[in-house]
Amino acid sequence: MSLPAEVPYAAAGVLSYLLGAVPSGYLLVRLKTGRDVRTMGSGNIGATNVARTLGTFWFAPVFVFDFLKGFAPVFWMAPWVAEEWRCGRCFAPVACLSVFCALAALVGHMWPVWLGFRGGKGVATIGGILFAMNWAAALIGMAVWVLVFLATRYVSLGSIVASVALPVANHLTVPHLPRRWEEPWIVTGFLAVAGALVILRHKANIARLLAGTEKRSGRKRA
């Protein structure tokens, strides 16, 4: 007896959340120092704070792992599940399941069950999600981040501005890409929601930016 499509679709969402909830930065700092990275630096578990804590070498492995947490469920798992368990009554099953898995992975990273729902800000994970959904918009988002960072030396400000730019970039570029999504507006809508989540997770940074107390990267402390 074949499973109804809702079962593997729900399982894909759960797996996406559990993968997103793997706290790579927390685990790395715990293994190397025995300390909780959430009590160090900015208190974030992401690559930027890990680099501040352990050294810049460790930025790349944490960023890549967090990137893959978003990329893998959207690029590989969701399309495969949607094809293997076809849902004739579902609206745009590939796009909707991909967005569902993307959101689950992002929520897992931001609110991981293993850390009492206190996770990272989701920048690397949403980067992986975006490259899986629309590589052209991802490159535009990266360019925006780099330009803002080089101009201001604020990692947080670059992330916030890039998050705003992503749904716009997707809307402008998706008509020029090979068709993959049944309903491209679903992806654009998701990116708007994901960008809002990233900005929400940066509320402390926004407060520090407004107060002029946010730390700039690439400058030695006095």
Mapping DSSP onto H, E and C, the string for 42-109 reads CCCCCHHHHHHHHCHHHHHHHHHHHHHHHHHHHHHHHHHHHHHCCCCCCCCHHHHHHHHHHHHHHHHH
Alpha-carbon span 178 to 130, nearest angstrom:
16
Share of the chain above pLDDT 70, in %: 95
Looking at the domain assignment, is residue 222 inside a domain? no
Contacts with 221 (C-beta within 8 Å, 6 or more apart), sequence order = none
Rounded mean pLDDT, 119-125: 84
Question: 179 in a domain, yes or no?
Answer: yes
110: number of CA atoms within 13 Å, CB side?
Answer: 20
Helix (H) / strand (E) containing 193: helix 184-201
The pTM score is: 0.80
pLDDT confidence of residue 52: 86
Q: How distant is the alpha carbon of residue 163 from its chain centre?
A: 10
- Report residue 204 CA to chain centroid gap: 18
| DSSP collapsed to 3 states, 145-162 | HHHHHHHHCCHHHHHHHH
Per the domain annotation, does 219 fall within a domain? no
The reply to whether 108 falls in a domain is yes
Instruction: Give domain status of residue 63, yes or no.
Output: yes
Residue 74 covered by a domain = yes
Q: What is the pLDDT of residue 178?
A: 66
Per-residue pLDDT averaged across 106-135, rounded? 89
Contact (Cβ atoms closer than 8 angstroms) between residue 130 and residue 67: no
Mean pLDDT of 133-162: 91
For residue 220, tell me if it sits in a domain.
Answer: no
For 174, the domain range is: 6-211
| Structural domains of the chain, count | 1
**pLDDT, tens digit (0-9, with 9 covering 90-100), for 79-102:** 999 988 888 777 888 889 999 999
